[in-house]
Amino acid sequence: MSATPIASGQDARNGALRLLHAVLIEKRMLTEAQSDLSMYGADAARAGRLAGLVLRHLSRIDALLRPHLKRAPALRTQAILRLAVAELMLDDAAPHGVVDSAVSLAGAVPKTAKQSGLVNAVLRKVAQDRAGWDALPSATLPPWLRKPIAKAYGRDRLEAIEAAHLAQVPLDLTMKAAMPEGLPGTDLPTGSRRIEGAQVTALPGFETGDWWVQDAAAATPVRTLGDISGLRVLDLCAAPGGKTMQIAAAGAHVTALDISEGRVRRLRDNLARTGLAADVIVADVMEWEPEAPFDVVVLDAPCSATGTIRRHPDLPHLRKPAEIETLTQLQYQMLDRALGFVASEGRLLYCTCSLLPVEGEFQVKAALKRHAGWNALPLDPTDLGLPEQAQSPHGLRLLPDLWAEQGGMDGFYISVLRRDG
C-alpha cells in the first residue's frame, strides 16, 4: 500500500493538538472544541479526523510509547507523540514526514523546544516497530463501562462493540419524502440512506431540504410508531430536531419542547431548511404543563450517550461513573412526567442512546411497576428491517456491532408504552 501524502500540513496538526488538549485536559466535548477552531475546510476536517484517531486508539498508542519514555513528557510533547503514532500506525503516512513534522511542532513552542530531540529519537524507534503495534490489543472502553456492558451482553458482544467503535463511521440520512436524484450511497433495510465519506453540504438535496443527517439507529424509534398522520405528538428533549422532523414529515401535528435556547436555534434552523412545521417551545419539561394531553409523547431522554461513542470518541474520556446515577434519576423523573402528558389509549415512546440497561430496559421495567394501566407494546425488529437479535425486554436493543459489515449503527434502547382506555 502506498503512503498517503501528508495533506494540510502543520495547520491541521496544530488544530488536532488543540482538540486533544480541549478533550483530555480541559474535559470539553470534541464538537464544542471544534467549533472554536479558527480553521475551515480540509484543515479543519483533517484536524478533527486526527484527533478522533488518537482518542479512539489512545490506550494502544500509549502502550506503544511507554517503553520508550523513562518519565512522562510535557503535556504538549505527549500530545505530539500520540498524534505522530496515530499518523504512523493508523493513517498510512510517510514516516520521515511524520517525524520531521512532529519535531517541528515541538520546536515551535518554548516549553517543548528542549524536548525536540526526545520526540525525534522516540518516533524514529516507534516508526520501525510495526510488529510491536500489531501485537498490542485493540483499544478498549474504560473499566467502569466494560463491566456493565459485559454483564448485560456477554464478553464476546462487548469485544464486538469495541471493535465497532474503531471502524470508519458512515453518514446516514433520513429522507423527508422522495430521495433526490443523484444522491450517492445505499439504502438500509430500516429506510435510511447510507453514504461513505461525503461533504454534507455538497450532497444533492441539502439546499432543498430533502433529507437530514441522522444515524440509522436514531431514526428507528419514530418508525416504531407506524402511521401517525393527523395525530398530536409531543417531542420532549427535541433539539436538534431529527425526530421532530421525522414526526412532521409523517404528517403529525408536532410540538417540540427543549430546555436549551441554543439547541432550539439549531432545531428551528433544521425545520427552516427542510420546510417542515412544528410548534417549538423552550421550557423545562419538569415545570411545563400542556393545554391538553397528546396522542403520542416521544421522550428521547438525557443519558450517558454511550451508544454514540463510535461517532464521539471523546465520550469515554469525559464521562464519569458518578454521572450515570444522576442521569438515571433524571430519566426516572422525566419518564413519570411524560406519562402524565399522554391521552387515554395514547402511546409513549421512550428511548435513550445508551449502551447501559440501567438507562433503558431497567427504566421501563420500573416505570411499568410504578404506573398501573400501562403496557409495553410488542415490537418485532424484523418488521423494521432489523435482525432478530435486536429484540429486548419491553422493546428493542440496538448495539454498535449490528450490521458490522455495513458500517454498524449507534447504540439505542427503544420501548413503546400504551395507556389503557
DSSP, collapsed to helix, strand or coil, labels residue 4 as strand
Locate the DSSP E strands across 177-269. Answer: 186-187, 193-195, 211-213, 232-236, 253-258
What is the enclosing helix (H) or strand (E) of 349?
A: strand 342-352
Distance between CA atoms of residues 167 and 178, nearest Å? 30
How is residue 23 written as a grid cell?
478533550
What is the full DSSP assignment across 85-97? HHHHHHS-B-HHH
- Neighbour count for residue 137 (Cβ, 10 Å): 10
How is residue 82 written as a grid cell?
500520540
How is residue 212 written as a grid cell?
437530514
Burial class (CB in 10 A: 0-12, 13-18, 19+), 325: exposed
Q: What single-letter amino acid sits at 253? A: H
- Neighbour count for residue 35 (Cβ, 10 Å): 8
383: closest CA among 407, 405, 357, 414?
414
- Active-site residue, selected from the candidate residues 237, 303, 351, 353: 353
Say which residues have a Cβ less than 8 Å from residue 102's Cβ, sequence separation at least 6.
Answer: 80, 81, 83, 84, 119, 120, 123
Distance between CA atoms of residues 102 and 79, nearest Å? 10
* Cα separation of the two ends of the chain: 65
Distance between CA atoms of residues 158 and 149, nearest Å? 6
Whether 353 is catalytic: yes
Say which residues have a Cβ less than 8 Å from residue 274's Cβ, sequence separation at least 6.
Answer: 176, 209, 210, 212, 245, 249
Q: Are 348 and 417 in contact (CB under 8 A)?
A: yes
Q: Are 115 and 121 in contact (CB under 8 A)?
A: no
Catalytic residues: 353
